[in-house]
């Protein structure tokens, strides 16, 4: 099987093609793909036939197929993509004024089995290759009505469980000769994989880090997020402090609001203690219900009362409402049924 052109770093591509063709041919090819968003060599009109034939025999130009596209009342659009082996993933375009955020997946399914998350119910099928992550951004650019301004690794999967491929994809996404996407507008979300946080901090790849916290009480967080049994809160906090030594960006703590579970006075007290000496901001997100799971969304008055009490926290706080909940495209709702994965359709 040929290596995908969409996973080759520009320097490696230039070095390879430079053995057979003038250096400018590599630049032309990169511009067609990443500048003009054309992924089929047949449509690259100023490339000579021998060069097109050579690159098509050297690399795969196959792209994921869009199997399903659903638009939300709020303008968000969820895409279900079939990869070459027919594994299926989902990505979501989220418009908000002049911003257009793309939520990408890093795995097909997820092994972390958070109690409130639909993706966790899939278990893990496999991790995505670097080119399969890059291809999501390329497809989104082709299908977005406006430029994509923000990129979040908050779709299917745990990015730090697939760190090598995620880092390789980020290098391409941020490379000036490729997508030239700003690190300041790129956020990677993790459930708290401590070794991965250390490796990310040491990698030299710049990205904003968000941590799905959801409780600052060890016993409760372990119930909601099994990862906490392996990396409990004190261990996670030390990793975040290490990351902050290496990064110029604040960490974001993500906290899903689940009534009767993590919205009490003791929960805020524990959160204040955990976050007090962290350079961070805290996003509170009302829970998006998932069929078959025992959790409910908080009522507006419950959210308002909680946010009033949360004003006592020393960090900047924000209430964020997920987009696309009516199409199953909001936080924690992305899922592909096993039947759809097996037959390659939806």
Output 240-246 pairs: Cβ under 8 A, ≥24 positions apart.
240/197, 240/209, 240/211, 240/278, 240/280, 241/278, 242/197, 242/198, 242/201, 243/197, 243/198, 243/200, 243/201, 243/209, 244/278, 244/279, 245/201, 246/201, 246/202
Helix (H) or strand (E) holding 78: strand 77-82
Query: What is the rounded CA–CA span in Å between residue 317 and residue 307?
Result: 9
Q: At what angle do helices 163-174 and 130-143 cross, to 10 degrees?
A: 40
Q: List residues bridging with 252 in a β-sheet.
A: 210, 281
Q: Which residues contact 142 (CB under 8 A, 6 or more apart)?
A: 37
The SS3 assignment for 21 reads: coil
Query: Does the CA dihedral 199-203-204-208 come out positive or negative?
Result: negative
Active-site option among 90, 129, 158, 168: 90
C-alpha angle 116-292-77 in degrees, rounded to nearest 5: 70
Q: How many CB atoms lie within 10 A of CB 7?
A: 20
Query: Does the CA dihedral 106-329-143-146 come out positive or negative?
Result: negative
What is the largest distance, in Å, between two alpha-carbon atoms of the chain? 70
Are 93 and 144 a contacting pair, CB within 8 Å? yes
End-to-end CA distance of the chain: 26
In the residue annotation, 39 being an active-site residue is answered as: no
Active-site option among 39, 110, 280, 331: 331
In the residue annotation, 176 being an active-site residue is answered as: no
Query: What is the rounded CA–CA span in Å between residue 103 and residue 306?
Result: 27
C-alpha angle 83-84-87 in degrees, rounded to nearest 5: 45
Catalytic positions, please?
Answer: 90, 331
């Amino acid at each position: 099987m040929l290596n995908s052109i969409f996973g080759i770093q520009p320097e490696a591509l230039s070095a390879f093609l430079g053995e057979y063709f003038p250096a400018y041919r590599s630049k032309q090819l990169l511009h067609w793909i990443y500048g003009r968003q054309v992924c089929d060599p047949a449509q690259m009109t100023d490339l000579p036939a021998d060069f097109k034939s050579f690159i098509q025999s050297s690399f795969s130009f196959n792209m994921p197929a869009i199997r399903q596209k659903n638009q939300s009342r709020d303008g968000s659009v969820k895409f279900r993509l079939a990869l070459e082996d027919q594994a299926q993933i989902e990505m979501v375009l989220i418009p908000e004024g002049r911003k257009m955020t793309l939520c990408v997946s890093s795995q097909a399914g997820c092994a972390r089995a958070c109690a409130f998350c639909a993706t966790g119910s899939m278990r893990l099928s496999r991790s995505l290759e670097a080119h399969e992550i890059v291809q999501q951004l390329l497809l989104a650019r082709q299908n977005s009505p406006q430029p994509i301004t923000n990129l979040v690794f908050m779709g299917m999967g745990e990015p730090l469980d697939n760190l090598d491929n995620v880092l390789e994809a980020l290098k391409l996404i941020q490379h000036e000769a490729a997508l030239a996407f700003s690190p300041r507008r790129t956020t990677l979300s993790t459930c708290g994989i401590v070794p991965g946080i250390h490796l990310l901090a040491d990698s030299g790849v710049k990205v904003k880090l968000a941590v799905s916290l959801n409780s600052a009480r060890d016993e409760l967080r372990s119930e909601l997020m099994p990862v906490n049994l392996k990396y409990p809160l004190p261990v996670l906090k030390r990793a975040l402090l290490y990351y902050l030594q290496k990064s110029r960006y604040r960490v974001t703590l993500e906290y899903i609001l689940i009534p009767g579970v993590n919205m009490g006075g003791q929960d805020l007290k524990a959160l204040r203690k955990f976050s007090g000496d962290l350079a961070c901001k805290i996003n509170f997100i009302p829970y998006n219900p998932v069929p078959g799971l025992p959790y409910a969304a908080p009522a507006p008055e419950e959210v308002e009362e909680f946010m009033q009490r949360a004003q006592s926290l020393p960090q900047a706080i924000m209430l964020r409402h997920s987009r696309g909940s009516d199409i199953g495209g909001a936080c924690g709702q992305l899922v592909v049924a096993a039947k759809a994965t097996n037959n390659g359709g939806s």
